[in-house]
Structures are given as structure tokens and as C-alpha cells.
Amino acid sequence: MARKLRVLGILTILIIFPLMSWYYLKTGYNYQMDSRAELKDYGKLPNFAWSTADSDYTIDSLENKMSVLSFIGEDKKNTEVILDVIQKLNIQFGDNSNLKILTFPLLAQRTGIGDLVKIQTERKINPFQHKIIQAPEEGLKNWLGGQIKYPIEWKEIENDAPDVILEKKTANQINEYPFFVLVDNKNTIRNFYHIDNVDEVKRMVEHIALLLPRDVRPGIEFEREKEK
């Protein structure tokens, strides 16, 4: 009996453990490849030269930095959703200087920048990572609706990750832009995520972690269920 147990132990060490390790490594590799396939090239982030509450902020400020863009409009519910996600992103990635989170008020004259800065402080969101960008209203809308475009549907592609169908919109059509935009450190737009879709936001977190250096803390959870 003891001899059989020794043989079983040897077989476990020599065969079963290596097979299990291979399986988990293979599964992780496939998952990472699938995630990378979801990161497309939707063109370059358009040039901009605007400002924060206390300094200039231009596209050069994002040199070698990843960024997540969000846009605040008139809908207060959307604003709360966006700020909730930003707060969680900051908790998750707050110590990583390679990520910038940018928020653009679409209606600058009607959205108090001071109010947003106050909320940023109340929520203890790191102002070095999260920037509130002030821009002329029409200039921002043209920049957003023309060059970044507007996702209208996710199209399934055979044997590939879904692709986003984009649509240009004129400036006067955009008072809300309910998407996060992920931009890599080469200023290439990689994906869009609806702010009110929990699964998409979770995928955004995974995509950020995939593209950032490996010192990122894992495990952020977005538990807010999509409201019906």
C-alpha cells in the first residue's frame, strides 16, 4: 500500500501537476489573446490645447500615457454614474502614473467646473490622475462628434471580437456622450464602453490592466447593476 502511494505521489508530481499548470497557463494565455483582440484601432486622439482649473492641458500632456476619457452633459444620472466609475478607477489605478483619467464637461457654460472640482475633492479622487478639462463648448463638441465619433452599435465579426460601428454627429447633436473612451500610450483610440453597461465597464478595467505595467492591483469590482 505504501509503495502504491509513493508511486501515485511521483506520478502526481511528474504528470498531473505539470498538466494542470499547462492548462491554467494556456487558459490565461487564451484569455489574454481574446482580450487583446477586443482592442481595435479607431484612429488617433485628435489634437487639443485646453486647460484644467489651474493649468494648461494639451495632447502633449499625454505623452507616453494611457488615458480614459469621459464626457459630462446635462443628465445628472449619467454624471453620477461617470463619477462613480472614475472614483473606482482611481482607487484601482491611483498609484500608476501611466494612466490619466480625463473628464470633459460638454456644456461648459452650464456645468460648473468648480462644482466638479468640489466633487472630486469630496470623493477623494487623486487630482494628479483625474483631470477636469475646460474647453470651449462648440470646439469640444466638434472635436468629439467629428474625430472621435459616436458609437451606434457593436457589430459581431466572425472569428473575431466585436467591432464598433461609429457615426459622425454634428456639434449641435451632442449634449450627452455616454461612453468611456480608452486611449493607449500612442494616443490611439482602442475601444468604447457604455457608461451604464456594467459588463462593458468591467471589460474596460481588464483592458486597462492589460495595457498598463504589471504593478497594477487586480480585483476592482463594479457591483452597481444596470438600471432598468
Same domain, 89 and 109: yes
Whether 223 maps to a domain, the answer reads no
Same domain, 28 and 114: no
How many domains, the chain?
Answer: 2
Whether 224 maps to a domain, the answer reads no
Whether 226 maps to a domain, the answer reads no
Same domain, 60 and 30: no
Whether 220 maps to a domain, the answer reads no
DSSP alpha helices (H): ranges in 46-169?
76-93, 113-122, 137-142
Residues 39, 140: Cα–Cα separation, whole Å: 25
Same domain, 191 and 175: yes
Which residue range(s) make up the domain with 133? 41-211
Same domain, 49 and 142: yes
Same domain, 80 and 30: no
Residue 89 sits in a domain whose CATH number is: 3.40.30.10
What percentage of the chain exceeds 90 in pLDDT? 25
Q: Which residue has the cell 462644482?
A: 115
Report the candidate in 212, 169, 206, 186 with the shortest Cα–Cα distance to residue 71. 169
Same domain, 137 and 196: yes
Same domain, 136 and 62: yes
Q: What is the mean pLDDT of the chain?
A: 76
Same domain, 89 and 174: yes
Q: Given pLDDT bands bounded at 50, 70 and 90, which one contains residue 26?
A: very low
Q: How confident is the model over 60-68, as a mean pLDDT?
A: 93
C-alpha cell at 103: 473628464
Q: Given pLDDT bands bounded at 50, 70 and 90, which one contains residue 213?
A: low
Q: For 121-180, how does the pLDDT look when each residue is reduced to its tens digit (9 = 90+)?
A: 888 888 889 999 988 877 787 787 666 777 766 555 455 444 565 565 655 566 788 899
